[in-house]
Amino acid sequence: MKISEILKTKRTLSFEVFPPKKEGEEKAELLKTIEKLGRLSPDFISVTYGAGGSNARDAAEIAGEIKKSGIEPLAHITGGPSDPSDIDRVSEKLISLGVENVLALRGDKPADFGEDYCKYFPHATDLMTYLGDKFCLGGACYPEGHPECDTLRDDIMNLKKKQDCGAEFLITQLFYDNSYYYRLLHEAGSLGVTVPIIPGIMPLVSAKNIRRIKSMCGSAIPLDFRNMIESYSKSPSVMREIGLNYAVYQIIDLIAKGAPGIHLYIMNRADTAAEICSRLENVFNEFFRA
C-alpha cells in the first residue's frame, strides 16, 4: 500500500533499518529483527541505501523480505552514486518484489567515490523526476536546515521543489529539540509545502553516540538533556533509561501538537523499538488508530 494512502487515514508508526554490511549471519540477524519489529505493528519499515550505492541489491532484498513479512517497506534510493541504468535496475527489482514506496535521496559523497558523484542526479529532485510515478515517493528534510544551505528559507524552497517533483510525504532528519520541527512546519507551510512531514526520532541511548550524531548530522542537543547525559554517562543502564525517556517525552509532545506520524531511527535494535512502544502503548493505541 502507498504510504501516502495510509497517511490519509491515520498517523503512521515506522522504523528504519540498515542492510547488513556482511552476508550470512548478519542478514539472518536482521531478518529476526524485522520479525520482532513486525510484532509492534508498524505502518512501514524503511531500509537505507549506501551513499556509494554498493549495497543496492541487499537493500532491495531486505525491502522484499519486509514486504513478505506483511509490513509495508519504504526503500531508500540515493541518486548521487547512480547512473540511469543503476536506477532502472533497482527500480525493476523493487517493483518485482512488490515494493510501492521509495524515499528518493541524493546521498553524501563517500571519500572513496570519484568525481562522477551526482553526475546524473545532482539532487533528490532529479531522482524524483526520473522515477516519475513508478512509486509513491518520499523525500528527506532537515528541521535545523541542511548543512549545505545558507539559510533555512533556501532549504525549504528546495523542499517545495521536492513536493513539486512528486514527493507525497517527507521524513525529517533526527532532532532533539522539537521546536526546530515546529519551526520547519511553520516555514514550510508558509512556502506552500502541504505534504505530511513525519518527524524522525533517534533515542540517544548511549553517551558515545553523541559525538557521532554531532559529526553525522549536527543536531543540537538541548542543554537540559546534555546535562543529564553528562551526569549519568558513566552508567550505561541509566544512560539508556534517560535516552528512552527523552525520546518518549519528544514523541508525546509531537503527537500532542499533531505530528502525522513518528519515524524511529532504531539502529537495527528491535529492543529499543519495543521499549519505546511499551512505554507509549496507550498513546499509540489511542492516537494511531485509523
Catalytic residue set: 16
Residue among 139 and 240 whose Cβ is closer to ligand FAD: 139
At residue 14, φ and ψ (nearest 5 deg) are: -145, 160
The set of residues, in sequence order, having a beta carbon less than 8 Å from that of 61 and lying 6+ positions away, is 19, 97
- What radius of gyration, in Å, describes the C-alpha atoms of the chain? 18
CB-count exposure of residue 186 (10 Å: 0-12, 13-18, 19+): exposed
Mapping DSSP onto H, E and C, the string for 203-267 reads CCCCCCHHHHHHHHHCCCCCHHHHHHHHHHCCCHHHHHHHHHHHHHHHHHHHHHCCCCEEEEECC
The answer to whether the beta carbons of residues 205 and 266 sit under 8 Å apart is no
Q: How far is the CB of 286 from ligand FAD (least distance, A)?
A: 26
Residues 96-135 that bind ligand FAD (CB under 6 A): 103, 105-108, 123-125
Dist CA 239 CA 247 (whole Å)? 12
Q: Does 49 bind ligand FAD (CB under 6 A)?
A: yes
Residue among 171 and 207 whose Cβ is closer to ligand FAD: 171
Q: How far is the CB of 120 from ligand FAD (least distance, A)?
A: 13
Residue among 163 and 272 whose Cβ is closer to ligand FAD: 163
Q: How far is the CB of 237 from ligand FAD (least distance, A)?
A: 29
Binding mask 211-250 for ligand FAD (x = CB under 6 A): ----------------------------------------
Q: Does 160 bind ligand FAD (CB under 6 A)?
A: no
Among 31, 40, 149, 267, binds ligand FAD (CB under 6 A): 149
Dist CA 98 CA 183 (whole Å)? 36
Q: How many residues bind ligand FAD (CB under 6 A)?
A: 23
Among 89, 161, 183, 279, binds ligand FAD (CB under 6 A): 161
Q: Does 146 bind ligand FAD (CB under 6 A)?
A: yes
Q: Does 53 bind ligand FAD (CB under 6 A)?
A: no
Q: Count of alpha carbons within 13 Å of 15, Cβ hemisphere only?
A: 28
User: Rounded to whole angstroms, what are the CA distances from 261 to 26, 159, 230?
Assistant: 29, 19, 30
Q: How far is the CB of 206 from ligand FAD (least distance, A)?
A: 21
CA neighbor of 188 nearest in space, from 179, 196, 200: 196
- The binding site for ligand FAD (CB under 6 A) comprises 48-49, 51, 76, 78, 103, 105-108, 123-125, 140, 146, 148-149, 155, 158, 161, 171, 173, 200
